[in-house]
Amino acid sequence: MKPIRLVQFTDTHLFADRTGRLCGLDTADSLAKVLALARTDGWPPDGVLATGDLSQDESPASYLAVRNALGALGAPVHCLPGNHDVPRRLAESLAGSPTVHLTRWVDLNTWQIVLLNSMVPQDNGGELAGEELDFLDRTLAATPHRHALVALHHNPVAVGSRWLDKMRLRNDTAFFNVIDRHSHVKGIVWGHIHQEFDSLRNGVRLMGTPSTSLQFLPGSHDFAIDSRPPGYRVIDLHDGGFIETSVRRLPSYAYTPDHSTRGY
């Protein structure tokens, strides 16, 4: 059977001001170019994952920009919040959209995608509330006949950058206790780290994805900007439970980073 194709865009960091910049990078421009590249690559997919930090300034206007940009893709878009988002405003801005939704789960033939909210108000780190862990456990238990992919914003494992790993998912042990109870979970995907990460844990594929905007330098002890261009991830979900995935980036993206910035 033809695999189910998902495309993941993450950490768009849009502003109310169309010319807003994150550490010197025009996030609206970089997103437009990444979306244009993706649409030349076997488009449309079966679904799009937008895995948080969709806004940088938490404004209704920035979420309207998210809705307009992703709503023009001609594919169903499933969003979840990140630490820079306000879930209520995101939900209000997406209300009534025919294609862009704040999604909890979606069934796609032999696969189920479960989307989690790991954001903590006024905190760059992440945590899954008790009800969120219960939701994950119940949803996975109800569908043992489907392979499962779990999506969230914060990295549930260390990625080797000291400053980023201080802002990872804090209750990772509780999260993986749930994952380990359900052998049909085949992959976990997230944003937040603005870089590529790909590993295995107990046979489960662990995938972190570059931002459509600014990139962070892998392996850095302190906040550092990488020169790699923006990108996105393609995820092919095969009927037998196998995940085939790759990161695609713009061939180049020239801008002048603001290296005086010590955070984002």
Predicted TM-score (pTM) of this structure: 0.97
pLDDT of amino acid 1: 82
pLDDT tens-digit profile of 113-127? 999 999 999 999 999
Q: CA separation (Å) from 33 to 14, 27, 40, 81?
A: 14, 10, 11, 22
pLDDT of amino acid 106: 97
pLDDT tens-digit profile of 244-263? 999 999 999 988 887 677 67
Amino acid at 188: I
210 and 193 Cβ atoms separated by less than 8 Å: no
DSSP class of residue 154?
S
Distance between alpha carbon 234 and the CA centroid of its chain, in Å? 12
Residue 37, H or E segment:
helix 27-38
Half-sphere exposure for 244 (CA within 13 Å, toward CB):
8
**pLDDT-flagged residues of the chain (< 50):** none
Distance between CA atoms of residues 100 and 184, nearest Å: 27
Phi, psi of 7 (to 5 degrees): -120, 130
Tell me, which fold does domain 4-249 have in CATH? Purple Acid Phosphatase; chain A, domain 2 (3.60.21)
Q: Where are the beta strands (DSSP E) in the chain?
A: 4-9, 21-22, 25-26, 47-51, 77-80, 100-102, 105-108, 111-115, 119-120, 123-126, 147-151, 185-190, 197-201, 204-208, 231-237, 243-249
Tokens 């980073």 correspond to 257
